[in-house]
Structure 1
Amino acid sequence: MSDYQITPLDHDDVVAIAAIEQRAHLFPWSAAQLAVSSHQFDHHYVLRLTTAPSCIIGYFYTRCIAGEAELLNIAIDPDYQGQGWGWILLNGMITTLRHAGADSIWLEVRESNMPAKALYQKHGFQVVHRRQQYYRCADGCREDAWIMEKRLP
């Protein structure tokens, strides 16, 4: 898994990201929400395979203000899930936010998203709160969110 790069998202990447977003999330962000922000506190990156042909297989959207970072969105293309790419992308996110001055990283995750919860916990994220009935479900019900935090050394 050495033929990859994690690089800042470019406007031209939004089409590829939007396609992954539609396949990876039950309630995906729109292309307008995924459009590149020029906000100084935002850090949006893509995970790109550098083998021929080069392709984007994942991304993250974060914000870091006054030492506190928040993961806003993250995904790995479903065709590449379960192969260790999530681990690599999350490592890249943590490194990026550490360089941006983050002392802590916050995120929320669906209670039923067992693979993501396990990945976050392996990376040292701790559950600090539950937000009841936060996420919509396909059948119209609501699902709890786990609020997790990782303190950075």
Structure 2
Amino acid sequence: MTPDALAALHARCFTTPRPWNAPEFADFLGSRFCFLLTEPAGFLLGRVIADEAELLTVAVDPAARRQGMGARLLTGFATAARARGATTAFLEVAAGNAPAQALYRQAGWVETGRRRGYYHAPDGTAEDALLLGCDLSRG
């Protein structure tokens, strides 16, 4: 997927946090630490630095949700992160994004913290970010 295609799909999936634009995706893809996993209607962007992985974003087209694509991307993330030497992983998710939280928890992620008022919606309201972690050393 090109940075333009990633940005277009991201915009269909997010308003809060705001969707990323093509130059932002190009910057991530240009980093030796980042990796991209794709599905026909979705993608996951991650990065590994030292032994820690970060799930930067995952997007599945709203019309293609609830078909296992997000779970496949998460499994792929764990595999790719381990192959790059990561033993732990973290992500942040909007506190109001119950479907994403359910997906992550089903994959073994646990809440490790909260960033109060971290995300800002287009209407000016703030939303907390939940920090989730995952132990990748368990195979």
**What's the TM-score once normalised by structure 1's chain length?**
0.82
Q: Does 1:85 align with 2:74?
A: no
Q: Choose from 99, 107, 111 the match for 1:123.
A: 107
Displacement of 1:69: 0.5
Cα deviations by residue, 1:77-127 (Å, 9 ceiling, x for unpaired): 111012221111111111111111110110000000000000100111110
Higher helix share: 2
Tell me how many residue pairs correspond in the alignment: 134
Partners of 1:74 and 1:118 in 2: CA distance:
14
Counterpart of 2:24? Answer: 33
> Once the two structures are superposed, what CA deviation does each residue of 1:109-151 show, in whole Å capped at 9, x if it has no partner?
0000000000100111110101100001232110001000001
Structure 2 residue aligned with 1:17, among 6, 17, 26? 6
Match of 2:35 among 43, 48, 66: 43
How do 1:89-104 and structure 2 match up within 5 A?
89-104=73-88
Distance 1:143 1:15 in 2: 27
User: Distance between the aligned counterparts of 2:54 and 2:6, measured in 1?
Assistant: 19
Distance, in Å, in 2 between the alignment partners of 1:33 and 1:18 is 9
Letter in 2 for 1:39: S
- RMSD value, Cα: 1.3
Task: Please give the alpha-carbon distance, in whole angstroms, between the structure 1 residues aligned to 2:74 and 2:60.
Answer: 10
Which segments of 5 or more consecutive residues in structure 1 lack a partner in the other structure?
Answer: 1-8, 49-56
| Consecutive unaligned residues in structure 2, runs of 5 or more | none
TM-score normalised to structure 2 length: 0.90
Q: Which amino acid aligns with 2:80?
A: T
SS at match of 1:88: helix
Greater RCO, 1 or 2 (C-alpha within 8 Å, sep 6+)? 2
